[in-house]
């Protein structure tokens, strides 16, 4: 029997690339996201075994429905790729960031990751054999911020704390949790890297990007480890992007 994975934010970008790579590696994949049409596109590329579950990760009832659908279809879960996220409004000074914009980023990036992890924990603890793996999508911003990105940066730092707590609390139940921190993968979200983004010194500069398939390959590698081994943190980035020595 193939292993079972849930991928959030699976309708585009990193989520879609990871879902396709997992399917190619023999996993059965549940595809979660707010918009059904892009999920259907991902599913058609994944093959007949994919399950489409439109879900809003910031809504507890919607997340409950996602994991109920997985339980009903397969009865177990081996992997959650906690990927859904949003950058929020770009290039907005901290003092001008609307409360609603702050809350939206927190709700999706942090609360959404928590709710999905909670749903995965419940299923992984109850199933036989017990256990599974959670991989959280962090960011280079979990280590070093970009200018005018306070909401995104704060939530990605918080995801690191979530990852550590999940890793600790999962030990008694054979639930491993790790994090992949990604820098400049070529997606719609990072398209602006090709035209120039603000730098810490006040300049605007074009930054290198890498193939999203390279990110997916690392997630598949992390997912394929036995539960006795865990990649706690992995950093995958475009080789020449300004991260080491940023600013």
- Which residues are annotated as catalytic? 152
Tokens of 194: 């090709």
Do 22 and 80 meet the contact criterion of CB atoms below 8 Å apart?
no
Do 124 and 77 meet the contact criterion of CB atoms below 8 Å apart?
yes
User: Nearest-CA neighbor of 67 among 117, 133, 17, 2?
Assistant: 117
Give the separation between CA 6 and CA 219, rounded to whole angstroms.
13
User: Nearest-CA neighbor of 89 among 181, 140, 11, 151?
Assistant: 151
Give the separation between CA 175 and CA 13, rounded to whole angstroms.
27
Helix (H, G, I), strand (E, B) or coil at 79: strand
The secondary structure of 18-42, three-state, reads HHHHHHHCCCEEEEEECCHHHHHHH
Tokens of 92: 């907005």
């Amino acid at each position: 029997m193939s292993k079972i994975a849930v991928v959030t934010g699976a309708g585009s970008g990193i989520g879609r690339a990871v879902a396709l790579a997992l399917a190619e590696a023999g996993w059965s994949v549940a595809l979660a996201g707010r918009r059904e049409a892009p999920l259907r596109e991902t599913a058609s590329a994944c093959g007949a075994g994919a399950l489409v579950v439109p879900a809003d990760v910031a809504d507890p009832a919607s997340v409950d429905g996602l994991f109920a659908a997985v339980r009903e279809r397969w009865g177990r879960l081996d992997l959650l790729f906690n990927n859904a996220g949003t950058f929020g409004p770009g290039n907005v000074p901290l003092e001008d960031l609307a409360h609603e914009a702050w809350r939206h980023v927190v709700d999706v990036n942090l609360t959404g990751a928590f709710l999905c992890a909670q749903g995965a924990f419940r299923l992984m603890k109850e199933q036989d054999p017990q256990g599974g793996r959670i991989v959280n999508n962090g960011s280079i911003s979990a280590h070093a911020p970009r200018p005018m990105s306070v909401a995104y940066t704060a939530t990605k730092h918080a995801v690191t704390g979530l990852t550590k707590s999940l890793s600790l609390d999962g030990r008694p139940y054979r639930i491993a949790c790790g994090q992949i921190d990604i820098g400049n993968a070529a997606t719609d979200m990072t398209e602006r890297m090709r035209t120039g983004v603000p730098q810490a010194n006040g300049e605007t500069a074009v930054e290198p990007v890498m193939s999203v398939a390279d990110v997916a390959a690392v997630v598949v590698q992390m997912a394929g480890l036995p539960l006795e081994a865990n990649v706690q943190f992995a950093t995958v980035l475009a080789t020449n992007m300004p991260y080491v020595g940023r600013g």
